[in-house]
A and B are shown apart, each in its own frame.
Chain A
Amino acid sequence: MNWDAFLAFVRGPLFQVALLIFIAGMAYRLFRVVFLGWRRDRVPASGSKAGGVAKSYAKGILIWPFIPWVRNTFRRNPVIYLGGGLFHLGLFTVIFLGTAHMLVWKSLLGFGWPTLPLPIVDLMAVVGITAMLVLLVFRLTNPVMKLITGPAEWLNWLFVFLPMITGYVLTHHLFFRYEVTFSLHMLAIDVMLIWIPFSRISHFMFYFFSRTIHGIEFGKRAVSP
Chain B
Amino acid sequence: MQSQTAMNTFVKETGGWVAAQLEACTRCGMCAEACHFYQGTGNPEYTPVWKVELLRRAYEQRFSPFGKLKVALGISKPITDEDLQHWSTIIYEACTVCNKCALVCPMGIDLGTLIHDVRAATAEAGVVPADLMAAVNKQVEEGSPLGVTDDVFESRLEFVQDEWEVDLPIDKQGAETLVVFSSIEIMKFPANLAAIARILNAAGENWTLSTKAREVVNFGFYEGSHEHTKLFLSRVFEGAKELGVKRIVVTECGHAYDAMRWTSYNLMEVPKGIEITHIVALMGDYVRTGRIKLKKGAYNNGTITFHDACKIQRKGGHIKEPREILGVLAPESFKEMTPNREEAVCCGGGGGVIAIKEADPIRYAAFQLKINQMTAVGAKTVAMSCSNCRLQFLDGIQHFKYDVKVRGLAEMVAEALEEE
Q: Give Cα A81–Cα B104 distance, bound, in whole angstroms.
A: 11
The contact of A77 among B24, B30, B262, B339, by CB within 8 Å, is B30
* A44, chain B: closest CB distance, angstroms: 7
Contact, CB under 8 Å: B110 / A213? yes
The contact of A148 among B29, B42, B315, by CB within 8 Å, is B29
Q: Give Cα A77–Cα B20 distance, bound, in whole angstroms.
A: 27
Contact, CB under 8 Å: A73 / B23? no
Contact, CB under 8 Å: B33 / A73? yes
Judge whether B217 is part of the interface by a CB distance below 8 angstroms. no
The contact of B44 among A32, A36, A144, by CB within 8 Å, is A144
Q: Give Cα A147–Cα B38 distance, bound, in whole angstroms.
A: 13
19 A-B contacts, Cβ less than 8 Å apart? A29-B23, A38-B17, A39-B266, A41-B266, A64-B106, A76-B39, A80-B30, A147-B50, A149-B27, A200-B23, A203-B25, A203-B26, A203-B107, A209-B21, A213-B21, A214-B105, A214-B109, A221-B262, A223-B315
Residues of B with C-beta under 8 A to A146:
44
Residues of A with C-beta under 8 A to B74:
none
Contact, CB under 8 Å: A210 / B107? yes
Q: Give Cα A107–Cα B341 distance, bound, in whole angstroms.
A: 50
Judge whether B16 is part of the interface by a CB distance below 8 angstroms. yes
Contact, CB under 8 Å: A203 / B23? yes
Q: How many residues of A contact B (CB 8 A)?
A: 55
Judge whether B34 is part of the interface by a CB distance below 8 angstroms. yes
Q: How many residues of B contact A (CB 8 A)?
A: 56
Contact, CB under 8 Å: B19 / A36? yes
Q: For residue A198, which residue of chain B has the nearest CB?
A: B66
Pair count A-B, CB < 8 A? 146
Q: Give Cα A32–Cα B265 distance, bound, in whole angstroms.
A: 27
Contact, CB under 8 Å: A43 / B262? yes
Judge whether A142 is part of the interface by a CB distance below 8 angstroms. yes
Judge whether B356 is part of the interface by a CB distance below 8 angstroms. no
Chain B interface mostly helix, strand, loop or mixed? helix
Interface residues of B in 14-71 (CB under 8 A from A): 14-17, 19-21, 23-30, 32-34, 38-39, 42, 44-45, 47, 49-50, 63-64, 66
Judge whether A4 is part of the interface by a CB distance below 8 angstroms. no
Residues of A with C-beta under 8 A to B106:
60, 64, 84
Residues of A with C-beta under 8 A to B24:
203, 206-207, 209-210
Chain A interface mostly helix, strand, loop or mixed? helix
Are A206 and B23 also in contact (CB < 8 A) when A38-B17, A144-B29 are? yes
* A52, chain B: closest CB distance, angstroms: 10
Contact, CB under 8 Å: A214 / B28? no
Q: Considering residues B25, B28, B104, B263, which has the most beta carbons from chain A within 10 angstroms of its beta carbon?
A: B28
Q: Give Cα A60–Cα B339 distance, bound, in whole angstroms.
A: 19
Contact, CB under 8 Å: B26 / A200? yes
Q: For residue B261, which residue of chain A has the nearest CB?
A: A43
* A81, chain B: closest CB distance, angstroms: 8
Residues of A with C-beta under 8 A to B339:
72
Q: For residue A84, which residue of chain B has the nearest CB?
A: B28
Interface residues of A in 86-104 (CB under 8 A from B): none
Residues of B with C-beta under 8 A to A177:
none
Known: A32-B64, A38-B16. 12 other contacts (CB 8 A): A64-B106, A73-B30, A76-B39, A77-B30, A84-B28, A148-B50, A203-B24, A210-B108, A213-B108, A213-B110, A214-B110, A224-B342
Judge whether A128 is part of the interface by a CB distance below 8 angstroms. no
Residues of A with C-beta under 8 A to B47:
144, 147-148
Q: Give Cα A77–Cα B108 distance, bound, in whole angstroms.
A: 18
Q: Give Cα A218–Cα B110 distance, bound, in whole angstroms.
A: 10
Q: Considering residues B42, B262, B313, which has the most beta carbons from chain A within 10 angstroms of its beta carbon?
A: B262
Judge whether A117 is part of the interface by a CB distance below 8 angstroms. no
